[in-house]
Every structure is written in structure tokens, then in C-alpha cells.
Amino acid sequence: MIMADKIIENRKKFYAISACVIIIGLGFALVRGFNYGIDFTGGTMMQIEMGQEVSIDEVKDTIAEYDLDPTIVYASDNHSQVIIRTIKDLKSAERTEVVNTLQEKYGFEDSDVLASEEFGPTVGKDLRQNAIKSILIAAAVMLVYIRFRFKTWKYGLAAVAGLGHDVLVTLSIYAIFRITINNPFIAGILTVVGYSINDTIVVFDRIRENSKFFKRKQNAELINTSVNQTLSRSIMTSLTTLLVMIPLFVMASSELRAFLIPLMIGVFVGTYSSIFLCSPLFYELTRKENLSKYAEQQEKAAKERKRNSRRKENDGIVK
């Protein structure tokens, strides 16, 4: 069984680690900006039927002289049709030059150019706004759900804070390493939100159960015990999830990799936040309440001691 001692006692260290990653990531984002893909920046798209099975790497080499840094994917099962996308805005004459170069190599007809267009970043702006709205709506619904399930808003607030942490850390890693943000990233980050909240609820559910049976325990001891009871489950679930993703990442297409990257980061970060962040945050929210209960218990114990001493005195007088 995996154990982690004194999670609550060391909570400030975990806060510091998360804060450092987020601050560094925000610094990179402010200085260099995020590496947005074509879905967010706009650019040029060409869809061509090559008339034969082609290699994506070979197509890239053929048009390397134009310095497009393109994203190329297959658009047919027989790998004869490709979609070329680049964030550069190529005018009609520039697109024609690229097509002519490919024609010289593969010998397709003009009619085989199925699409050739330049588009702006308007769609990308809408995607960003909708992604933010989706995360906020999901967080609000989860907060309401957890409030009714656990009968207190403190569990929900700690869980939603953990979600915000997961999103910010994932964005920070993308900013630091200049990983491209595109449509699959949005799908991945929303999946991570659902995964992370599930792991957090498991931990909180154990805290709630133990609070019924160990009423004399202080909050720190109770939360430490509860987290350790669920620690093995949380880590093994995350490891098995990652073990499934790694072969997919190695063997899958670049489009699927773009979806797997935020998932892999999010699973790791979500597990970390469920154990080392959400539980300490819940402790912070309930510490004053726990201290007041402890003071009340101490006051009752003091009164009981006084009563017992008076009884002993009275018994001594009677004797």
C-alpha cells in the first residue's frame, strides 16, 4: 500500500510547487505568447487528390522551399488525398505556386485540387470563447452537484479550485514548451476536467465517511488518513490510464497525438491536485470550524472535570 505522510503538514510546499509552475508558465505566455495552431490563428488550407499513394514526409519535403511549416494529414483511406494546412496567409498566386510544385512531382490535374482557400482567425476566436464558457459551465454544474451530494459548499469550492489549478498548470506547460494549441487541445482539456473531478470526489467521499466514524480525530489527522486510504487507488488508476495512452501516442497520427498530450499532462496534474492540493484546500476551509469544535470539546471537558472535583469534595465532606 502506498503511503504519504503528513500531507496537511506539508501543504505549503505543495502550494509553492503549483504556484511556481503557474507563475513561470504565465511569464512565458506574456513574453512569448501561446503557440496557437491554424484552428485559432487562421491561415491557408489546400486539399488535393494526388492520384497515387503518397508519403506525408515526402510531400513536406517537396514544398519545403516555401517555408510553410505545414500540417499535412490524409483525407482518404488509400492515402492518395491530402489536406495541407499552414498558419501563413497565402494569396491566390502563392497557392498556385505551391500547387504547381506538387504537380511537377506527382503529375495530378488541376481538377484534382479539391479545395484551396485562405481563412481568418474568426472561427478560432469563437472556439476560444466557447472553450472558456464550457469550462466555466462545467465547473458551476460540478459545484452545485458536490454541494448537494456532500451537504456543504466547502467540498465543492476545494474541488473547483483544483480544476482551475489543473487547467492553469496544463496551459503553463503548453506555454513553457511551446506546444501547439488547437482543436484537440480543447477536447483534451475538457476530458481532463471530468477525470480530475472524479478522482477528487473519491478522496472527499472517504473524508466524509471517516468523519462519521472518527469524530475525535483532528481535521489534519482525519484528512491525512483518508488520503492515504485512497492513495493507492488514485495512483494505480492514473498509471493504468497513462499506460493505455503511451502506445497510442507512439503509434497514432499527429492529430491524435494533439489530443493525447493534454490528456497525459492532465491525468498527472489531476492526480497531483486531488491528493496534494484539493484535500489541503478543504482543510484550510474547515480549519476554523474544527478549531471551534475542538475549543468547545475542551470547554466541556473542563466543566466535566470541575463537576467531578466537586463531587469528590462533597463525598469527602459527607464521609
Residue 295 has what pLDDT?
A: 52
Domain boundaries, the chain: 11-35+123-300, 43-119
| Domain range 11-35+123-300, CATH class | mainly alpha
d(CA 292, CA 295): 5
What was the pLDDT predicted at 39?
75
User: Which residue stretches of 43-182 are H helix?
Assistant: 56-62, 92-106, 122-150, 153-177
* pLDDT tens-digit readout, 96-133: 999 999 999 999 999 999 988 887 766 667 777 887 88
E strands, the chain, in order: 43-49, 71-74, 81-86, 113-119
CATH for 43-119 (1.10.8, 3.30.460, 3.30.70, 1.10.287): 3.30.70
- 162-182 pLDDT per residue, tens: 999 999 999 999 999 999 888
Closest to 134 measured CA to CA, from 69, 214, 194: 194
Residue 135 DSSP SS3 = helix
Question: Residue 65's pLDDT is what?
Answer: 92
Query: Quick one: pLDDT at residue 213?
Result: 80
Could you tell me the CA-to-CA distances from 36 to 42, 103, 112 in Å, in that order? 10, 30, 30
> Which residues, listed in sequence order, are joined to residue 72 by a DSSP beta bridge?
84
Task: Please tell me the predicted confidence (pLDDT) of residue 162.
Answer: 92
Cα gap 130→119, rounded to integer Å: 19
Handedness of CA 164, 169, 172, 177 (dihedral sign): negative
Cβ-count burial of 111 within 10 angstroms (0-12 exposed, 13-18 middle, 19+ buried)? exposed
What's the pLDDT score for residue 216? Answer: 63
Domain 11-35+123-300 and domain 43-119, same fold? Reply is no
For the chain, list residues with pLDDT below 70: 1-5, 121-124, 215-216, 289-306, 310, 312-319
Quickly tell me which residue has 472561427 as its cell: 123
